[in-house]
Every structure is written in C-alpha cells, then in structure tokens.
Amino acid sequence: MAEPEAKKQQLQAKFYNQSIDDVRKALDTSVDGLTPQDADQRFQEYGPNALAEAKRKSMLAKFIDQFKDFMIIVLLIAALVSGFVGKEWADAIIILAVVLINAVMGVIQESKAEEAIDALREMSTPDAHVRRGGEVLTIKSENLVPGDVVLLEAGDIVPADLRLTDAASLKIEESALTGESVPVDKTVDTLSGDDVGIGDRTNMAYMNANVTYGRGEGVVVGTGMNTEVGRIAGMINSAEETSTPLQVNLNQLGKILSILIIVIAAIMFLVGIFLRGQGLLEMLLISISLAVAAIPEGLPAIVTIILALGTQKMAKRNALVRKLPAVETLGSTDIIASDKTGTLTQNKMTVEQMYYWGKLHPASDPIDDSISALVDMNLANDTKMQGDGKLLGDPTETALVQYGLDKGYDVRVALEKAPRVTEVPFDSERKLMSTIHKLADGRYLVAVKGAPDQLLERATQIEMGQDDIQPLDAEKKQAVLAENMALAKQAMRVLGMAYKYIDAIPATVDSQTVENDLIFSGLVAMIDPERPEAAQAVAEAKSAGIRPIMITGDHQVTAEAIAGRLGIIQPGDDAAVLTGAQLDDMSDKDFEKNVSKYSVYARVSPEHKVRIVKAWQKRGKVVAMTGDGVNDAPALKSADIGIGMGITGTEVSKGASDMVLADDNFATIVVAVEEGRKVFANIQKAIQYLLSANLGEVLTLFMMTMMGWDVLKPVQLLWINLVTDTFPAIALGVEPTEPGIMKRKPRGRNSNFFSGGVASSVIYQGILEGALTLGVYLFGILHPVHTTTGDIHADALTMAYATLALIQLFHAFNVKSIHQSLFKVGAFRNKAFNWAILVSTVLVAVTIVVPGFNGLFHVRELDLYQWLTVLSAGVAMLVIVEIVKFVQRRMGKQ
C-alpha cells in the first residue's frame, strides 16, 4: 500500500479512545508540532483543509433535464404536429411558450439548491494558531495538515478536527454539529469504547465549533473532507433528491393523459378512414384537433402559478419557500421530524427555579436583591456586558446574569461596590469557580458557584433565612441533594451557590485556601425552555393527523423532559425514546419495523437523522424535517421537505432546505401545512375543472366524427382552451380555505389528484358537458332558424361552440367544492374568480358577436332564441351537478 493512502486510512481511526502519546505516534508528530518541511510535504499529500466542491451540472444540462418529463415530451410532439402538419402555428407557439417558461423556472430553482455546500465552505475559519518546530505561528486554516498542533482560546473557531492534548477550563459550543444546547466541558482523558457518540467525545474538538471558555491545545487528526463537517458535506453531495408528491402526481397524470389521448386519436383516425371513408389528411387534422382538445396545455403553467401564489401567502406568514413544489408537499405531510434545540426550544439557557432558605421558588416569583444566592451566582461569573446591553460569555453564566437583570439586580453596580480582586478559575475536575471581592468595611466576600455535590462537601453552614445561618448537618445536606436530584430529573442544569467572609486574602489563592468552611446559599435550576407557542403547535399538528417527532443530539433525560412538556410524548414515557447508541444496535429491517414506536431520538448523529427520515419514507409516509445546524443538513435534503430556521439556522441548513421559517417559530410550520393543504385542494379543483372540460371536448369531437357531423375546428378548440381554461383555473387556485381542512387526515404519499371523488367527478361531469353540447348541436339541426342546409349546420356548429365554451364557465362554479353545495362554499366569495368568469365570457362572446371575428373563428351571429338555448345548457350543467352532489352527501360522501 502506498504511504499516502496508508496515512489517509489512519485518519479514519477513532482517536478519542487512544492515548495522547499513541495519537502523536500514529500521526508522527510531537509536542513541538511538525517541522515546516513535514508540513509542506503533508500538504502535498492531503491537499488543502477545505471542503471538496460537488460536481455541478452546466446551465445547459440543467435546461435539457427539464424536458425529460413525459408530459412535456407529449406537449412538444403535439406542438410540432400542430405547426408542421396542421399548420396551426398559434397553437404550436402557445404550447412551446408554456414548456419554455416551465423549463426556465426549473433551472432557477435547481440552481438555488446548490447553495448548501457553498455555505459550508464559507464557514471555514480564515486563520489558525499552530506550533511548528516549537514556534507559534498564525497561518491560513486551509494550510493545516494532520499532525499539526493547534492552540485554542476563548473566541476561536476550531479550524480542523483535533484530539485535545491540553484543556484548561476549556468549553466548546458544538450545537450546530451535535444539537446539544450548552457548551461541552473538554478534557484530555482517553475515552473507552468504540461507539462513543459525537456529543460525548469530550477529548475531541471539531471543525467550525466555537470555543466559549478557557484554552487548550490539540493535534489535527482530520482536515477537509476527513473532518466531521466534511463527512456531512459528503452526505449532502450524495443525498438522493426525492420527488415531491406533487411531482409524482403530475408525472402520473401526464402519462395517463398521454396514453388516453393516443388511444382515442388512433381509434378515431382508423374509424374515420376505414368505416366512414374519409380522407387521410382530413382525419389527421381531426386527430390533431382531438389532441388539442385533450391536452391541458396550460396545466403545468397553472400549477406553477397556483404554487407561486401560495408562496406569496406563506411569505406573509413567515414561511419562505425556496422550491415551489414544497408548498404542496407540506399539505401531504404525515411526519414532522423536528430538531429540538432552537426549533422547539429557544436555544437560550433560562433560569426556571431558585432554591434558597430551604424552599423552592419559581423563577417568576419576585426575589430581593439582597438574597445571597442571587448575589453569589452573579459575582462568581465571567459574563461580559456590552454597551448595548448584550451579554457575552458562557450561555449558563449569561442566563444567571440575565435573571438578575430581570429581577432588578445589576451586576455592574454590584461590582462597583464590591470589585473583584482575585479568583480561583473554574476547573473541570473540581467543577467550581470562586471570586473574591473587597467590601466597603475592609473585609472580603468569597462568592462560589458550581456542582452542588462538590460545593456541599466544602460547606459547613447553610443560610435558612435573612441573618439565619445554621450548621449544615446531614439532614439539611440530604434535603438539598434530594432537591438537586428532583430538578435534574426534570432535565434542568443545576448549580449550587455558597459564600463566606474573610478578613484577608490568603498568600496562596487556590481551592484549598479559599473553597472551605463555606455557607451554602442555594441552588439555581436552568433549562433551554420550549418555545411558548410550540406546545399548541404540536397539539394542532396532532389534530391534523400529523405525528411530530423530536430528533436531537442532546441527552436522553433532557429530550424526554422537553418532549413531555410539549405533548410529543406522555411525561415519563421512556419507551418512546430511542438513543443513537440503541439505534446503532438495530438493523435497518428491525428499525423500519418498529419506527412507529418512537417519538423522541436522543444523542443522535447526522447519519441517524437520515436513517430515521428514510425509515418513515419506506413506510409510505411524507416526512418534513426541521433543523438549524450543520448536522441537520443531510436529513433536510433527504426529507420530502426540509425546513430550515431563518434566524438561528446556519447558512448550510438553510441552503439544504426547501422552506425557511423567517421567525424560527414551530407554530409557523402548522400554518404552512394549512396553506399547503389549501394549495393542493385548489390544484385539485383546477385539475378537475380542466380535465372534465377537456373530456367534454374530446367526447364532443369523437361523437361528431362518428355521427358524420360537422366537426369543431382546431382554432375554435384552441380559443376555448385558452380563454375558458386558463383564467378560471388560475382563479380556482386562490379559492379560500374550505372549513375543517385541518381536521382531515394527511393525504399521504400514495394519494393523487384523483383521490377524494375527483376521478368520478371528472368522468361524469365530462360526459355531461359533452352530452349537453351535442344536445344543443342536435337541437340546432332539428329546430333551425334558417332554411338552407349550409346555414342550418353553420348555426348548429356555432351553437355547439358557444355551448362548449360557456358550459365550462358555468361548471367552474361547480368545482369550488367536490361535494359541498355551491351555496355553502359561496358562489361569489372569490373576487378573482368573479373577474375571471366575466372576462372569459366576454372573450367568448366577442368571437361571435363582433364583426370580423366570425370568419376568423368559422362562426355565425346567433339570435336571442339560439343564445337562450345555449344558456339553458349552461344552467342545466349547474343544476344537475348540484343534484348529484346532494345525493352524494346523503350517501355519506364528504
């Protein structure tokens, strides 16, 4: 094996379970770091510390891909035949224009989807502090190589994956990678086991994580695509793009329509030639007319317009859609797989309980600014406050200062009266920090905070009231420990506080001389709380038949507690909680079989999230995945709809998403689901309208041919399709939401546009339209206004043309609801619809009543008697469908 390849394989090792000496030996480095010569050689072997760019399609390739859809191919063939054979160039141009508009929009949307990897690449840090040859240098992070020794301090961004070799009170915030809401205390201790989750690897530091406290050193063990972030980038690159239910349904619809059109046209062509003895060219033109009548040319454009209007409405409600089909996909969602931190919770540690004077007090209770516990937790604190009031520091410490400010205790004022003179910094082994403050009377106050069990070992007294200091006996100590345990079981982060007064500062300031004979003052319990509106949103999702599940990198206890508070699971139902380690022990087959048992996943990795999404998808469920971190990006891309967070979300997560929440509000998802359901219902109405109208045209044309009657011309059918299809169909796309739409179960992956009674409605309504049109034609023949044969047939054909056009406009009122009465849903509630019907009616009438247009459209002027016959057919269409709906409702169809 070549040496470079062997070294690259070494980078796949699990360095967290190796000693520091073994890591240095494996990477052939030392405490002084690599020599400049070794670093240059390794740079040639491993390449820059940067993420590899995915292969990109050219704009031309993306454009060509848009024409691979079966429906689009059929439309292109129809356009070519209409233009070159039938000489109907207007028809051909309209079809081609629709196809080109859709292709351009598809290219624009696909280009936006490539932003995820670009955002990941931009996150890399510009500089890194390294020790090479014993000297500390500042270099570009892209020049780091495995074996380099990197120095870290508070405020730095970790430039590569490191095995830590030194950690002095080091805390690193990894929420974007692990999902854990608080910074991790780092150590250099070797970990045991081969399956330690990424969130528990306390001796590792990962690329793009933030150093929030302390300092440290580490050996580079992974660069570029060999880092955890690089692995996620690889997963984003390789993630398969899932077709949305809308795309699947449109493809299915296109194939069904195309096959039917070809079969009917072929039958009509053969019957006309062999049974009726008509000419070849004549039957070819008639077959083209049938294709024009049957193909809903405007359907792709109408669907696109309805989706675009839906995106505008969603944007007004803080849901920003990046990919048009995502609007409709939301409406079919079965599962919302939500990240916890920053999505269901506020991603901000907050004080929830205070324990002092032997009693537990909710954070909402007032507290006197002289309470020792409040003073101690603010003074023993390294939070910095900017001029604008923004708090900088460890999230746990800033939560304590913020609580004090909320209660009227300003630590800045307190420090002016009792300035800090020295301190014993926090240490991850003793888990305490102490600060010493000079008082006005010449004494010194020692303020201590830290782990309650460690602090109680150093305390000899306890404060039980104002000026009431009592010995800390076993009973009182046990009471404090019991309270600490109870709060910890609620997934709260608990700190203890203590203090004492001294007359002089010890010669040596350390834990032994300062942290003893303390007076225990209380406990403070914090949590990253759920968003106020999240519980209601979860309940609304459940009532809509949607199952919310939580996926987080946080600990099981924390995840279980938050899920219980939100109503995702019943409080204490640990059987519904699965950890990443438990998931690793399950085969894909077993997990897919049992996935419905679990509603909460804790301590998970990016691979786990993708696996969870795919398990639900294999069970036929439509999955929406929310997230805000880098670690969420692969799952966001794999889900049917990825939902990123606009405020707290990384650019990576937003780039991989189909939709972004501008307000990071989980409740906005429920609002978007409602809008998505409305969009699908309205697309369904438009399709019902278009297909029933086209079926009526096909039947009219087919029967006219079979009966040997005069046949409607292609230009007449084209005008009907253009005028009576487009405007009303688009207007149906903005119909108001039908009542009770959020009480229905999700449609699911296997539903389609013909579900819920649409298929039967299209068939009987199309037949009814055709029958009424043929009836009017026959009536015109049997009851002519003129006496000559040519005039009789011309009048009858004009009446059939007018009936076929206007009957569709009457029918547009019918499809406002599949089963509900027109009078219940409101005939004239939709102003856009009212205008569409009026404009379409005028455009149809113009072709008949305005001189000059008659010859162009092969029609004649009609008298009042003939117009009343045409209008009677339209009214009959309205009345008959209302009667059928009434019968359907009585039979229990809704």
Cα separation, 358 vs 373, in Å, equals 12
Residue 43, SS3?
Answer: helix
Taking the CA atoms of residue 699, residue 703, residue 704 and residue 706 in that order, the dihedral angle to the nearest 10 degrees is: 140
Closest CA to 818 of 764, 859, 858, 857: 764
Q: 439: which residues sit within 8 A by CB, 6+ positions away?
A: 418, 445, 501
Cα separation, 388 vs 410, in Å, equals 14
Tokens of 313: 């409405």
Closest CA to 684 of 762, 753, 766: 753
Q: Is 214 left (phi over 0), alpha (psi -120 to 50) or beta?
A: left
Query: Which residues partner with 354 through β-bridges?
Result: 361, 524
Tokens 């296109």 label which residue?
254
In three-state form (DSSP H/G/I as H, E/B as E, the rest C), the secondary structure along 659-723 is EEECCCCHHHHHHHHHHHHHHHHHHHHHHHHHHHHHHHHHHHHHHHHHHCCCCCCHHHHHHHHHH
- Please tell me what DSSP assigns to residue 142: G
Tell me the C-alpha to C-alpha distance, in Å, between residue 685 and each of 71, 755, 818: 20, 11, 8
Q: Which alpha helices (DSSP H) does 47-135 contain, by range?
A: 59-65, 70-80, 89-112, 115-122
Q: Is 388 a catalytic residue?
A: no
Q: 60: which residues sit within 8 A by CB, 6+ positions away?
A: none
The C-alpha angle 545, 546, 550, rounded to 5 degrees, equals 145
Spatial contact of 648 and 395, defined as CB atoms under 8 Å apart: no
Cα separation, 608 vs 588, in Å, equals 11
Tokens 């509106």 label which residue?
533
Cα separation, 690 vs 475, in Å, equals 80
Which amino acid belongs to residue 670? V
- Please tell me what DSSP assigns to residue 203: T
Cα separation, 516 vs 530, in Å, equals 38
Q: 267: which residues sit within 8 A by CB, 6+ positions away?
A: none
The C-alpha angle 646, 648, 654, rounded to 5 degrees, equals 45
Q: Of 339, 632, 658, 664, which residue is the catalytic one?
A: 339
Cα separation, 871 vs 862, in Å, equals 12
Closest CA to 697 of 795, 779, 782, 800: 800
Which amino acid belongs to residue 778? L
Cα separation, 49 vs 43, in Å, equals 9
Spatial contact of 538 and 545, defined as CB atoms under 8 Å apart: no
Cα separation, 511 vs 503, in Å, equals 17
Q: 195: which residues sit within 8 A by CB, 6+ positions away?
A: 581, 584
- Please tell me what DSSP assigns to residue 724: I
Strands 391-392 and 384-385: antiparallel
Cα separation, 146 vs 125, in Å, equals 16
Q: 554: which residues sit within 8 A by CB, 6+ positions away?
A: 179, 180, 181, 199, 340, 341, 602, 603
Provide the 10 A C-beta neighbour count for residue 52. Answer: 15
Provide the 10 A C-beta neighbour count for residue 482. Answer: 10
Residues annotated as catalytic (active site), given as ranges: 339
